[in-house]
Amino acid sequence: TKTYSQWERVGYVQLPRGVAFIVLTSRDKASYEKDSDKLEKVLKTLVYVGPKSATAYSARYDQLIDQHAEAQIEPLLTEWREKAPDDPNAWITSANYYFNQRQTNISAKKPGPGDIRLTDKKGKLAGSISFEQDKSNMKRAAGLLQEATTKFPDRLDIWCGLAFIYQETGDFDNQLATLKKMVAYAREHPAQLKWEGEPLNEPADKFVPEKLHEYGLYYEKKENPEDDKRWFQISTLATQQYPNHAEGFNDAAGYYADLGEWQKARESLEKARQIDPKSVGALINLGNVSVKMKDFTSARKYFEEALKLDPNGEYAQEAKEALRKLNKK
C-alpha cells in the first residue's frame, strides 16, 4: 500500500497478467487512521490469489500457454484436477487443451480450408501444410469430459462439449448417446441446470431442445442421405422428450420433405403449428408442402394466414409470390 494524498491510500496486488488496485479514501484524519488497517483485509478478500486455488491454476495455465512451455502444461493440468477436484474448469481446461492439439502434416495435396499453401521457387502450387486431429488427444479430451459429466452433471455446457467432440471425430453413436443422457438428466433436474457455471437464462424445456436443434442442423447442412438420417434421429429425440417445443417437429418435417413424403411432412408441421400458432415459418412451409401435394386450397389458406400475421416480415415476399402463382392456377 502507498499513501498518495491526504486521507487516501492505494493498495496493489500483482497478478499474472496485470496489476489490481483498490483506492481507500477517508473523509478526515480520524477516519483515515481508523480505516487504514482495513485496506489489506479488503485486498485479500477481493483479489488475493491463493497459491493452490482454482484461480491460481487457471492463471498459471494461461501463463504457460503464453510462454509455450509445453513440458509444464500437462503436469499442471493433472495437479489442478487432483488438488481442485470440485472445480469443473480443471476438467474443461484439460479437455480443451487436448482437443486443440493438432498434428502437422506436409503433403503434395491441394490446401483445404485452414491449410497453409506451399509453393515452389516459381510460385506454383507445390502442396500444403495441414493441421489434423490427433486421435489419441481427442480420445483423452472425450474421456476427461465423460468424467466431468459424472462429477458435474448439472453443467449442460460440459455435456454439449462432449457431444461436440464426438461430432468432430465422426462418432455419431456416442454423440447421440451423450445427448440422450443429457436430456434424461435435464428432464429429472430442470431447476439446477447451468451453462458455463451460471443458471440457465430460459426454462430448460426451451433451452435443451434448441441445443438439440443446433446439433441436428450440423447434419442437415451436409445434405446427404446418411447425415439426413442422423438429423432425423436428433429431431426424434427432441419431439419425444420435448413434445411441447415446436423446433423438433419442424426439423422432422424438413427430413420428410427431403424424402418427398409430403403427408408426413405436413403432419409434423401441423404439430409444430399447434404448439406455436404464430410461427410464420411453419405456415410458409405448410403452404409449400400443400403445393407439392397439389392441395392448392390449403396452400392458399396457409400463405394468406402467414401474410396476415406478418405482412412485412422476412417471409412476406415469399408468401406474396406463392399466392401470385396460385392465383394463376
Tens of pLDDT along the chain (329 residues) come to 445 456 677 766 665 556 667 777 777 777 767 766 666 666 555 544 444 566 788 888 988 888 889 899 999 999 999 999 999 999 999 999 999 887 666 767 787 766 677 787 778 887 777 667 788 999 999 999 999 999 999 999 999 999 999 999 999 999 999 999 999 999 999 999 999 999 999 999 999 999 999 999 999 999 999 999 999 999 999 999 999 999 999 999 999 999 999 999 999 999 999 999 999 999 999 999 999 999 999 999 999 999 999 998 889 999 999 999 988 77
pLDDT at position 107: 67
pLDDT at position 43: 58
Q: Where are the domains of the chain?
A: 2-48
Question: CA of 42: how far to CAs of 11, 36, 218, 317, in Å?
Answer: 9, 10, 49, 61
pLDDT at position 230: 97
pLDDT at position 123: 80
pTM of the predicted protein model: 0.76
In which residue are the cell numbers 427430413 written? Answer: 255
pLDDT at position 108: 74
Torsion angles phi and psi, residue 236, rounded to 5: -65, -40
Q: How far apart are CA 276 and CA 116, in angstroms?
A: 47
